[in-house]
Amino acid sequence: MEIIKKVRETINKYHMLVQGDHVLVGLSGGPDSVCLLTILHRLKPEFGIHISAAYIDHGLRPDEIPYEIELCRDTCSSMNIPFTTRPIDVKSYIKENKLNKQEAARELRYNALDEIATEKAANKIALGHNADDQAETIIMRLFRGTGPSGLSGIPPVRKYIIRPLIEIERNDIEDFLETEGIGFAVDSSNLKREYLRNKIRYLIIPEARKINMDVVNTISRTADIFRDEERYFEILVTKTLMKLITRKTDNSIELFLGPLEAMDTVILRRVLRRAIDETKGLHGIGFIHVEEIMSLIKSGKSGDRIYLPKDIRVIKGYSTILITSGKPTKLVAYVIDSPGETIVKESSMVIHSAIMGIDEVKDYGDAKKIAVIDADKVHFPMTIRGRLHGDFFYPLGFGKKKKLQDYFVDEKIPRDERDAVPLLISGNNIVWVIGYRLDERYRVDKDTKRVLKFEVKPLRI
């Protein structure tokens, strides 16, 4: 049949299969995956492959799932193909990772397929994305904002994942199943018009076909061109990014700033996109956000930052740019029972304190690194802690009470750093906003006989 010939050509064109491959098919029961399984089964002797199939239960459509599983099991049984089901908890994953439903389901689905492939010793995973999916994806990315990388669409092959139907239109798939009398399930979520993909599928593509009957293949061919160009840039970007990373975690990546500031916009955009894509906690940053990061790199001052969706922050330092979704540092409380040394880990500082006579003081400091207060106006134990709701103090030289929140705003202290600013407390009063300003009530005056001197030094690990 013509569709089998086309799939064979796609497999050969992208070198998807070799003799002896064990292919795990992601089987949902929908027309695409059922068609994929059927055609691979018929091509099995020709390519000399082994086939298994797996259904991933997202737990989102409880009324439909039992029927889909039964359909998949019967389909596999008729072809003597091993079949596995695996549940995933999408709702919990959404809450834990602050993703939307589609993103969460996709990540968990791929993770589950990876696990099953390992268990089955399958070295390839076959998915049922078709040419219409390709066109819809590219249009979606255009609406959301994208660059050449986004316009390259869904890759036919990515590592061990293959998509043999990527050049087959949905109408051809459904015609094949109808001709062969092969049953399939219809996912009710694919019929809901509130999803952007479905709006494109049911509203935009039909109108586009009135202008160009072959619009799906036209868009797919355009994606092929962009993909070829992306291969070249990928090599360049990989080499560039390897030299830029200073540190990386699951939630953040820090890059040397100097080379980024001098980089051509075309390469800079791609380097940032790759850095973000390879950092799990930064997924979801769109094209417009990358443009904002580029503007910060090129035009921002040291200490400037931008706030993006999903609690992602981008901070420009003196020599680096940090992109992170990690929670801002929040101080715990430290008790100072007597003068001496206190280590404040969250702020990476050591605070030395000592009582001395007024005549012994050589340097009163500016309340940044050194602070001197009247020792008889405070009492031990004292505390170092982060801010609390309702905190206030009397800034030295200001002359009146001020809310700490307002002071932070006036001092332009970034909101994600405010919980990390240490406060020296005596009783219930702020004595010193460490690194910024003393409280007027504890200043040294003409009646002071003893002072308590504090000195801040960096914590060296």
Cα–Cα distance, 410 to 74 (Å, whole number)? 68
Cis peptide before 164 (omega within 30 of 0): no
Structure tokens at 119: 């268990």
Q: Is 278 helix (H, G, I), strand (E, B) or coil?
A: coil
Residue ranges of the chain whose pLDDT lies below 70 = 461
Which amino acid, one-letter code, is at 431?
V
* Cα distance between residue 119 and residue 113, in whole Å: 10
First to last CA, the chain: 69
Q: What is the pLDDT of residues 288-316, one digit of tens each?
A: 899 999 999 999 988 888 989 888 999 99
Joined together, the tokens standing for residue 82 give 């091993």
Per-residue pLDDT of 59-76, as tens digits, reads 888 888 999 999 999 999
* Residue 233 exposed, middle or buried by CB count within 10 Å (0-12, 13-18, 19+): middle
**248: closest CA among 278, 272, 293, 287?**
278
- Adjacency order of strands within the sheet including 22-26: 83-87, 50-57, 22-26, 124-126, 161-162, 157-158
Task: Walk me through the domains of the chain, giving residue ranges and CATH numbers.
Answer: 2-225 (3.40.50.620), 243-324 (3.30.465.60), 334-458 (3.50.40.10)
Q: Are strands 50-57 and 22-26 parallel, antiparallel or unpaired?
A: parallel
Q: Which helix (H) or strand (E) holds 113?
A: helix 101-120
- DSSP SS3 for 1: coil
Cα distance between residue 365 and residue 362, in whole Å: 9
pLDDT given for residue 461 in this prediction: 60
pLDDT value for 171: 94
